Amino acid sequence: MCAVDGVRAAGSREGKYGLAVIESKDSAASAVFTSNKVVAAPIIHTKEMIKGGKISLVVVNSGNANCFTGQHGIDDCERTIEFASEITNIPSSEIATASTGVIGRKMPMDIILPLVEESISKLEHSAESSIDAAKSIMTTDTYHKEFAVETEIEGEKVRIGGITKGVGMIAPNMGTMLCFLATDAVISSEMINKALKSAVNRSFNMIVVDGDQSTNDTAILMANGKSGVEVAKDGEINED
């Protein structure tokens, strides 16, 4: 994740609960979510905030899905975001959130909020911090999942990095997984939406493990433009 210029990450754990934070300030952003009719509180929030087209911070917890928790779950989600906003001075409107874990239980906020504070205090631009973030979102995964690639666009270098979790249920339509991607490329709001949808359709939506779908599936792409290299400014991206 942190192979991308301008990206910092960190992760912390307490028992069965983990929490990762990913910072990529002033990033153009897009997100794809589960198509399940029932969705978790963090998806309700992030679906709304992503309409602004910008993400500077992602807060991800594991161990509790914050699903089937009603208004209480939404309140906990908003409380987490406001807490992170106060610490980082990042507007709450630029903070996305995601959760994975047990369904139907209230968030243990006495554990989650201290983990938010701890992870934010450890934010770094390093390979080690990227690994920590990847490990902190694992549930039944047997190993952490991260990657980074460097490519050239018209002779100029750009990087893409990411972390993900998901193991038992990978169909239909992303279930159940979380994926967080960042790039230093310059991508317009229109193009970033097309790019992410196309990538998900050609990857996560083509994998089958056991046929189950999740309430929490989320894929987020952030582009902070640090490389100055513009992507697809003259072309189109096929979304199919």
What is the mean predicted confidence (pLDDT) over 194-217?
65
C-alpha 149/C-alpha 165 separation (Å) is: 18
The pLDDT assigned to 171 comes to: 37
pLDDT at 37: 84
CA distance 21 to 175: 22
Whether 176 is catalytic is yes
The CATH T-level fold of domain 8-223 is L-amino peptidase D-ALA esterase/amidase (3.60.70)
Q: Where are the domains of the chain?
A: 8-223
Q: Are strands 145-153 and 95-102 parallel, antiparallel or unpaired?
A: unpaired
Q: What local confidence, expressed as pLDDT, does residue 195 receive?
A: 81
The mean pLDDT of 141-155, rounded to a whole number, is 88
Q: What is the 3-state secondary structure (H, E, C) of 126-137?
A: CHHHHHHHHHHC
Banded model confidence at residue 170, pLDDT cuts 50, 70, 90: very low
202 vs 125, more confident: 125
Q: Quick one: which of 175, 14, 227 has its CA closest to 108?
A: 14
Are the C-beta atoms of 4 and 184 separated by less than 8 Å? Answer: yes
| Mean pLDDT, range 195-200, rounded to an integer | 76
Per-residue pLDDT tens for 124-134?
999 999 999 99
Q: Which residue has the tokens 């009719």?
A: 37
Model confidence pLDDT, tens digit, residues 14-43? 999 999 999 999 999 999 887 788 899 999
Q: What is the DSSP letter of 78?
A: H
Q: Are 9 and 130 in contact (CB under 8 A)?
A: yes
Residue among 97, 100, 139, 176 flagged as catalytic: 176
